[in-house]
Amino acid sequence: MDYREDQTIVDFRNEVQTFISDNLPDDWGSKPQGEGYDADVMQVTRAFQTEMAKRRWLTMAWPEEHGGLDAPHSQQMIMSEEMAYHRAPGAGGNMGVQWVGPSLMLYGTDEQKAEHLAGIADAETWWCTLYSEPGSGSDLASLQTRAVKDGDDYVINGQKIWTSGAHVSDWGWLAARTDPDAPKHKGITMFMMRMDTPGVTVRPLINMADGHGFNEVFFEDVRIPQTNVVGEVNRGWYHLAVALDFERSGIGAFAGGRRTVEEITEFAQDNGHLLEERPNARYELAERHIEVEIGTMMAYRIAYMQEHGVVANHEASMSKLFGSELGQRIAKTGMELLGLRGNVWSDGPYAALQGRLSRSYVSSVSGTIAAGTSEIQRNIIATRGLGLPRG
């Protein structure tokens, strides 16, 4: 495996860096952005993604026939790496790009594709994924939100939770149970629904960092036309997690981590007394730098495997596990270095790094839960990677 970048990749990386510089406010990467859904942040995000869409960068991994560039995994990874390092609002958090579009390409009707794919590719519509429920998170197949056929409609009743961006989304990508008597991995169907449909209530969930990214969503006799069913009825579980063969290296965690470690190091150098008071911080910072390099190599390897037709299964779990836990270690190292200044959140005379580390410290707690818990990742690594028996 050769990690050296040819001139094409070097030129593309420079092009992405220039694009980010030209299309984001000068102070964007240095200021805390909360959960990214504040009105002013969303305005910048939508404008930025619209410019990405003009270059087909928002959907660069999509096939050309559906508005993408059919880009190779290495190019996709470079895009993700630069976006994460510069804290740019790229395609990573766009559920329409990540989940809805790929599923529609495989399972949607021609009418559904014509109605929705262009809007996603052009950054005109924003989607959320209505998956998790209060009693169905890691064990998502146990979901209980019901969809009952009634004439030409389905009537939805139930609740979803931890729905990112539901309060700013135009459409929702809903998993609901259509056959309560079927085994739990069967009897689930996928639906598209407008978030302003009567009977839908969205309530905010404020996290420990005082950010509003998550929501709980309630459905009370919500009617969805049967034309909004995607794929086969009762086969939704097998459609739910589809993402085609897109780049899944996890590079974003390591590129973002690199930026934060560099900032902590620079702050420590500018405030030498901090290292005098906490001499062990030098060793911790060195470890964090090394871990970022290790994680980056793990991510590069996954992209290399995918580009050569090898499915990265347990390797992707390794990257996710290492990246989410590294994020917690980076935040902890920074907070211990800052001491009492780490308790100052606001951007004032006593706030260090504009309070970003303080927010990162509390928000990183969920990193080992979201997108697959560390326990699940370790199970995948053990069974699929090491061949260990279950139970």
CA atoms within 13 Å, Cβ hemisphere of 255: 18
**DSSP E strands, the chain:** 127-130, 146-150, 153-160, 171-177, 188-194, 200-206, 212-225, 229-230
pLDDT in tens, 325-347: 999 999 999 999 988 888 887 76
320 and 330 in contact (C-beta within 8 Å)? no
Model's pTM, two decimal places? 0.90
The H-or-E segment that residue 233 falls in is: none
Q: At 325, list the tokens.
A: 């836990």
Average pLDDT over residues 137-159: 92
Q: What is the pLDDT of residue 343?
A: 83
234 and 187 in contact (C-beta within 8 Å)? yes
**39: confidence class by pLDDT, cuts 50, 70, 90:** confident
Residues whose CB is less than 8 angstroms from the CB of residue 222 and which lie 6 or more positions away in sequence, other chains included: 155, 156, 157, 193, 197, 198, 199, 200
Q: What is the pLDDT of residue 248?
A: 76
Q: What is the mean pLDDT of the chain?
A: 90
Candidates 82, 216, 247, 291; catalytic one = 247
Q: How far is CA 164 from CA 128, 145, 203, 211, 247, in A?
A: 6, 18, 11, 11, 22
Q: At 132, list the tokens.
A: 């998790």
pLDDT in tens, 262-279: 999 999 999 988 888 898
Average pLDDT over residues 203-226: 92
Length of the chain: 391
pLDDT higher for 170 or 354? Answer: 170
pLDDT in tens, 191-201: 999 999 999 99
171 and 193 in contact (C-beta within 8 Å)? yes
82 classed as catalytic: no
pLDDT of 245 higher than 60: no
pLDDT in tens, 75-123: 999 999 999 999 999 887 788 998 899 999 999 999 999 999 999 999 9
- β-pairing, 200-206 with 212-225? antiparallel
pLDDT of 34 higher than 70: no
In percent, the amount of the chain with pLDDT more than 70 equals: 95
Residue 373, judged by CB atoms within 10 A of its CB (0-12, 13-18, 19+), counts as: middle
**213: confidence class by pLDDT, cuts 50, 70, 90:** confident
Q: What is the pLDDT of residue 148?
A: 97
pLDDT in tens, 289-328: 999 999 999 999 998 888 888 888 899 999 999 999 999 9
Residues whose CB is less than 8 angstroms from the CB of residue 384 and which lie 6 or more positions away in sequence, other chains included: 313, 314, 317
Q: What is the pLDDT of residue 2?
A: 67
**382: confidence class by pLDDT, cuts 50, 70, 90:** very high
Q: Give the whole-angstrom CA distance, residue 274 versus residue 285.
A: 13
DSSP code string of 305-320 = HHHTT---SHHHHHHH
Side chain identity at residue 339, one-letter code: G
